Structure formats: structure tokens, C-alpha cells
Structure 1
């Protein structure tokens, strides 16, 4: 990793840790500054409320010019989260902007995605179908995930 990327990451992490968004925490792996372990709380007043979800954020060597990969470690059920936990979000793909996004805004966007699903661009078809056709059952499944997150390590 170049000294410039390392310096940028250290500055970005320091800025985040000085003023993290509410309900979000993150720290780099001890041996790899390009891999963050993060925890986000489910947004209040949503079926996700009360949940605590673990995820990883893997920054590529050419960050900030290429978006990081974000993956939930916690089990998830959401139209825009793959079964393996990878997050499908426009700002982490074709709408990426190295000028606007820092660790806090990346994680805040992922937290917001939980309550602002896009069922028209799903990567989990079952979650998208329930979200659109049977919101009650979708919310029940989400609440199961929330309960599991409360007892998981």
C-alpha cells in the first residue's frame, strides 16, 4: 500500500472516531488498516430498531478512487443485501464519489438502506417480493433477524 493511501486512511479513521454518527462504530483490524470492523444499530422507529449488526468494510488499494466493499457479518434479510452479506448500494457502485464519501457517510448510508430498501433493484428476490407484496411477513422476518442480532456475539 502506498504511503499516500495509508495516510489518507489514517486521517479518515481518525476523523470518524472523533465524531462517529449515532449508532455507528468502526475500527480497523490491528494488522490491516484497509479492513474495518463496524457495528451499526438498526434505525429507530423501523422494524430494524433494537438490532445491532456487524459488518466489514474492505477498502481497495486505490481508495478513495474506488469504493470499498461492504459486507454484513450478521445474518440479514433485505432486498438490497445479498445472502452472503454483501451490500448492493448505488453509492458503493456507479454513484461512488471520492470527494463526498468518508467512513462515517459510507456507514450512515448503509444504516439508512435498512429502512429505505429499493425493491425495484433487488439482490435478494424473496426479501424484495415480501417487501412489496406482504409487508407484514417481511417485517416479521426482519424482527427475527433483529432478535438474533441481540444474542449473537
Structure 2
């Protein structure tokens, strides 16, 4: 079950307090764009969410199948790139967001088990959400948004 997320600006320029149930995180922007770097920026938090979802999904799958997975790691990076197949068609240049994720598995796993776990990582709930069409409904609250 997903908990609500509450975000509130701090007195520092772009720093934000993020509350999720009993957890409190901070987010900010790097100094080169005016922040103080007191926490990861929004792109980094998104990549962390994807990486955590992928590695947890791999762990759960290996556990259910009683496979000897000892550990899983994900390294992620974000960039803006030229959309594939657009430039070749003569259409205008279109840039798209790209996240690269590299998965590392440790344990006495067969090649088939490694392939299967790699496939499972790409089907975690956050990955599916990011590659699908997402509807975001934003509205102006009449007053402060209070935490429950």
C-alpha cells in the first residue's frame, strides 16, 4: 500500500522537506543552479525510486524461487538524448529523457537465472509506470496542505 507524500519548502532557497509516513527526506538543487545541495534533486530521487524498485523486485523474485541470489545492485544515470529514428526520417530534432540502469547480480546463479532476474528488474512497478502514460492531476489547494 502506498502512503501519501508531503513536500514543503524550507527557508533555504530550493531545499524541500519530504515526509512519507514516518520517514523524512530532504531534496534540493545543486549550487550551480542556486541550491545548497542539502539533498538529492528530483531527478536523482526518481532514479533512486526506479533503482530501489528494480532491486527489491529482483530480490523478491529470487526469494520466491529459492535462488541463491546474494546481492543485487543498480547504477542509474539520467541524460537528455536525441530521440531514436527521428533524425533519420528528416523530422525536426526531438530530445527525450533517458535513464540508463545497469544491474549487477551476485550469487551462484545460472545464466538462465541471471537472465530471468534481469528481465524481472525491467518489469518492476516503477519501471512500468515510467514507460506508460501517466495521468497527473494537479490542483491549487485553498489553504495549507496538512499532513494527516
Larger Rg: 2
TM-score, structure 1 length as denominator?
Answer: 0.27
**Structure with more contact order per residue of length (Cα contacts < 8 Å, sep ≥ 6):** 1
Structure with the largest fraction of helix: 1
